[in-house]
Amino acid sequence: MSKIISFKIMMLFVLFLGLTSQAQTKKWTLQECVEYALKNNISIKQTDLDAQTTAISKKDAIGNFLPNINANASHSWNIGLNQNITTGLLQNQTTQFTSAGLSSNIAIYNGLQNQNKLRRATLSIIASQYQLSKMKDDVSLNVANAFLQILFNKENLKVQKEQLSNDEKQLKRTDELVTSGVVARGDLLDVKATVASDNQKVVAAENALFLSKLSLAQLLQIDEFKDFDIADTDYDAKPSATMLEQPEAIIEKAKQERVELKIAKTNLDIAEKDVTIAKGAYQPTLSGFYSFSTRASYSDRIVGVDANNNYIFSGPLPLFDQFSNNKGHSFGVQLSVPILNGFSVKNNVERSKIALERSKTTQKQAETDLERNVYTAITDAKGALNAYESSKIALDARKEALNYAKEKYAVGMMNSFDYNQSQTLYVNAQSEVLRTKFDYIFKVKVVEFYFGIPIIENR
């Protein structure tokens, strides 16, 4: 029996290790990264909380239409000289009183401020939703950029390691040639220096890869960033149909798709509503009120007069009987006309007008910024494509030069230093191709983003 239990424990332990290993070796795709960031990024969470706050503000605006209802109750002890409510005389006594009441008031007219505040609250909700959408778009772009940076650093690390491997092979071959007396010892020292330099480049590439993974993990709010890794996706720098569109068409589509202009327009509407609300304070306000009150006393009460005209006292009536007998109602309307209030209303109106002008300027600036950003994105993408094409041509040329250098070095027509220089230039050309490739991919993504194409499909 104990053997069976031990076997089960061992199997559970193996299963746990397998699940742990699977969790640690998870490879994140770009779509998974973006979707995870949209759910967990701190900036998005904070913007979502702002949106929830605006929803509560709308509830406040709706509540302004409802009447205020308040209940009150008190119980007091009066000790010493006070008026006897039964006889109306001042005398030293200890009495108790209980009172209760209910009051209510409602705004009938206040310059339409309640209606305008509700409309403003609705606009604020729309603006917060646009702001949340913009934050999600910004985070998606940042995640895509960080993702592509990791891919570049991975490819660059492969290039550096391949170069290190080649130079180590060359070091071994050169050592054999020096031993046989074919090559001078100075060439061996040059190759050793090259291998040492290659090791430094590999370490630098590994550090760059680690830091890029850390950057993306922080965007995703992942704590266990040491084991974080992405899928080795092969992105081709293929032509984009969006790049064939005219800049004016992309700008027009951006005006329809991007939320920056929608945010600016909604903020302008809010500023206009603020001016209307501030002006509403110039108008008179009319409100209705109602109150109900009752009380009870614990003093003796007069129930009659005897033959000598003396009062006949009896104990107090039951509490609820007194409440019923002593109840009263009060209701009516109240009109308030603002005449002089220290210029507070006038100043609020002026401040609102200044904020309105600022919103108008911000809207115009948003349109200008959008056009500039689109033109910049298109220009950057075209420049990145030219740089990528040029780097490929340069790589082909460096490859031919390296092959020629190999032939010369093999027959002793080139020393190891010049040969290493050719190798270094070739490796740099490889890295430049990778850099310009991923730079082009991202910048095309930005242009497509302005054109309404999401960073990932089925987002």
User: Which residue ranges form the domains of the chain, and what is each CATH number?
Assistant: 28-66+110-283+342-450 (1.20.1600.10), 77-108+288-337 (no CATH)
The predicted model scores a pTM of 0.78
For residue range 249-289, list pLDDT tens digits in order: 999 999 988 899 999 999 999 999 999 999 999 999 999 99
333 strand-pairing partners:
288
Q: In whole angstroms, how large is the CA radius of gyration of the chain?
A: 41
In angstroms, the CA 67 to CA 290 distance is 10
Map residue 217 onto helix, strand or coil.
helix
In angstroms, the CA 161 to CA 167 distance is 10
Give the residue from 155, 187, 407, 188 showing the smallest Cα distance to 163: 155
For residue range 187-245, list pLDDT tens digits in order: 778 888 888 988 999 999 999 999 999 999 988 888 877 788 988 877 888 888 888 88
pLDDT given for residue 8 in this prediction? 46
pLDDT given for residue 311 in this prediction? 67
pLDDT given for residue 85 in this prediction? 63
Q: How many CB atoms lie within 10 A of CB 155?
A: 21
Structure-token match 């190891």, residue found: 416
In angstroms, the CA 178 to CA 190 distance is 12
Amino acid in position 136: K
* Cβ atoms 150, 40 nearer than 8 A: no
* Cβ atoms 171, 191 nearer than 8 A: yes
Q: How many CB atoms lie within 10 A of CB 226?
A: 10
What angle, 0 to 180 degrees and rounded to 10, lies between the N-to-C axes of helices 260-280 and 344-410? 170
pLDDT given for residue 177 in this prediction? 72
In angstroms, the CA 142 to CA 137 distance is 9
pLDDT given for residue 7 in this prediction? 42
CA angle in degrees (0–180, nearest 5) for 176-178-184: 150
pLDDT given for residue 457 in this prediction? 54
pLDDT given for residue 183 in this prediction? 66
Residues with Cβ within 8 Å of 457's Cβ and at least 6 positions away in sequence, in order, are: 31
Structure tokens at 215: 């950057």
Burial 271-309 (b: 16+ CB within 10 A, else e): bbbbbbbbbbbeeebebeeebeebbbbebbbeeeeeeee
pLDDT given for residue 119 in this prediction? 95
Map residue 446 onto helix, strand or coil.
helix
Q: How many CB atoms lie within 10 A of CB 313?
A: 13
Residues with Cβ within 8 Å of 299's Cβ and at least 6 positions away in sequence, in order, are: 84, 85, 86, 93, 95, 316
Residue segments in the chain with a per-residue pLDDT below the cut of 70: 1-25, 84-89, 182-184, 300, 302-303, 311, 313, 457-459
pLDDT given for residue 224 in this prediction? 78
pLDDT given for residue 58 in this prediction? 94
